[in-house]
Amino acid sequence: MTDKSQSIHGQWSSRFTFILAATGSAVGLGNIWKFPYITGENGGGAFVMVYLMCILGLGIPIMIAEIMLGRRGRQSPINTMRSLATEAGSDPRWQYLGWAGMIAGFLILAYYSVIAGWAMAYIVKDFFGSFINSDAMEIQRLFDNLMASPFQQIFWHTAFLIITMLCVMRGVQNGLEKAVRFLMPTLFVILMLLVAYAMSSGGYEQGMAFLFHADFSKLTADSILTAMGHAFFTLSLGMGAIMVYGSYLPNNVSIAKTTFFIAGADTVVALLAGIAIFPLVFANNLEAGSGPGLIFQTLPLAFGHMTGGWLFGLLFFILLFFAALSSSISLIEPAVAWLVENNNMDRPTASLWAGAACWVLGIGVVFSFNIWSDLKLFDKNLFELLDYLTANMMLPLGGMAIAIFAGWIMQPKDAEEELELPAQGFQIWQFLIKYVSPAAVFLVFLHVLGVL
């Protein structure tokens, strides 16, 4: 057995470090790349409303639960779930939740790394001045060329994974701590600059109306599922990433306060990204629903025309790269922690195996944007399939299972002891986690299946 107060993998040096790492995990491509494009595809305002409601009613209580389980278990999610289930006198098969999460993280990283590779490619494009004075057509052509080139995408996907695995190898404390400390605030400043530019772009009012005017008639069952899935995705919930980070958390830290900070920062970044992007979409007569290329087809237009745009563009894509890096580390950490615990591997070997497996699957994802783009299952190419399977299905179901475990299986007094909330706060959390979260996920699935 491990020492109860600390995980064998180490511990964060302070509450601040945990906040940085967890915020680093939450804020990533999900906020800046995915949120805008799925908002565009799902009609805007109403979708954003559902997403915000899911952050509040599902994301926050489940994040509290996930951090709590991690800190109490102090091992990889698989072993944490097994020992907590045993402690509560329940079925050790709860460990399969840890397994599902590990697999989800691995599947997400396979495509996450490809998209992060696009961001890296755009650092170079900006550096060579490719955006300067370009019009929407030229920017579109740049993106199409990248999509058409398996070679370029594989190159950047490989580079990104190598960097990720090097960081993971170095363990929890040395990883990205220092870098993230100043990168996050800088990213925030650049986003504010882009918002200021968007305000002057002529499409501002239309962009804001698109984002915040809720027309519920546009909302399909699948949009609701996507919004809910994205609430899990953007907060890194439902697969054990936040659980594993929680397992490195010192005992004296308030889980609830920390959660509010992380969820708040994450939401602000996503909304700022949307406010920066949609005015550009409308000012340039672009297509809001153009899909995963949206930020790559809009932001370079701003960088190509604003004063100092070359520098801001460079900074932006570098920061996006770092935001992706601090997220991808958390996607693979559960697998690495488990390989180390159960298979007697050292961290470097474990990282190498996990990284190699992601690399192979990522190649398939690259092909789904070009040579395999017509290869479809359920009308989805490999990228869309992986995204749908993980974000829309595995994460919400994983989150629901975490809620059920924290609300119904774990002894309430244990949860109370971990959370140290004021009585009323604890009751609210308990109500949300026992009834609201599991029921909401369940109802959305029924709705998608057409039962409701």
Rounded-to-integer distance, Cα 322 and Cα 198, Å: 24
Among residues 103 and 193, whose Cβ is nearest to ligand TRP? Answer: 103
Closest to ligand TRP by CB, 255 or 263: 263
Name the closest residue to ligand TRP (Cβ).
30
What are the start-end ranges of the H helices in 343-422? 347-368, 382-387, 395-404, 412-419
Nearer to ligand TRP, 233 or 367 (CB): 233
| Nearer Cβ to ligand TRP (286/319) | 319
Q: Is residue 215 helix, strand or coil?
A: coil
Query: Which residue number, 61 or 203, has a Cβ lying nearer to ligand TRP?
Result: 61
Closest separation in Å from C-beta 270 to ligand TRP: 8
Least gap, CB of 452 to ligand TRP (angstroms): 26
Please answer whether residues 350 and 169 qualify as being in contact, where contact means their C-beta atoms are separated by less than 8 angstroms: no
- In order, the DSSP letters of 9-73 are TB--SSHHHHHHHHHHHHSSHIIIIIHHHHHHHTTSHHHHHHHHHHIIIIIHHHHHHHHHHHHHH
Residue whose token pair is 């629903």: 289
Q: Give the total residue count for the chain.
A: 452
Helical segments of 149-254, H only: 150-169, 171-174, 177-199, 204-212, 221-234, 241-246
> Which of residues 247 and 327 has its CB atom nearest to ligand TRP in the complex?
327
Closest separation between CB of residue 237 and ligand TRP, Å? 6
Least CB distance from residue 420 to ligand TRP, whole Å?
26
CA separation for the pair 150, 364 (Å, rounded): 10
Q: How far is the CB of 138 from ligand TRP (least distance, A)?
A: 28
Angstrom distances, CA of residue 104 to CA of 32, 126, 160, 266, 346? 21, 33, 19, 21, 23
Least distance in angstroms from the C-beta of 128 to ligand TRP:
27
Main-chain dihedrals φ then ψ at residue 257, nearest 5 degrees: -60, -45
Compute the least distance from the CB of residue 247 to ligand TRP, in Å: 15
Q: CB–CB of 41/284 below 8 Å? A: no
3-state secondary structure of 380: strand
Tell me whether residue 231 or residue 404 sits nearer to ligand TRP (CB atom): 231
By beta-carbon proximity to ligand TRP, the closer residue of 24 and 207 is 24
End-to-end C-alpha distance for the chain, whole angstroms: 47
User: In the complex, what is the shortest distance from the CB of residue 419 to ligand TRP, in angstroms, rounded to a whole number?
Assistant: 22
The one-character DSSP state at 450 is T
Torsions phi, psi of 123, nearest 5?
-60, -45
Identity of residue 413: K
* Binding footprint of ligand TRP on the chain (CB under 6 A): 25-26, 28-31, 105, 108, 233-234, 236, 239, 241, 327, 330-331, 395
Q: How far is the CB of 295 from ligand TRP (least distance, A)?
A: 13
How far is Cα 85 from Cα 91, in angstroms, rounded to an integer?
Answer: 6
Joined together, the tokens standing for residue 432 give 């949300």
Nearby residues of 239 by Cβ (< 8 Å), 6 or more positions away: 77, 100, 101, 102, 104, 105, 108, 331, 334, 394, 395, 398
Least separation, in Å, of the C-beta of 68 and ligand TRP? 17
Query: Of 31 and 79, which CB lies nearer to ligand TRP in the complex structure?
Result: 31
Q: What would you report as the CA-atom Rg of the chain, rounded to the nearest whole angstrom?
A: 21
**Residue number with CB closer to ligand TRP (164 or 430):** 164
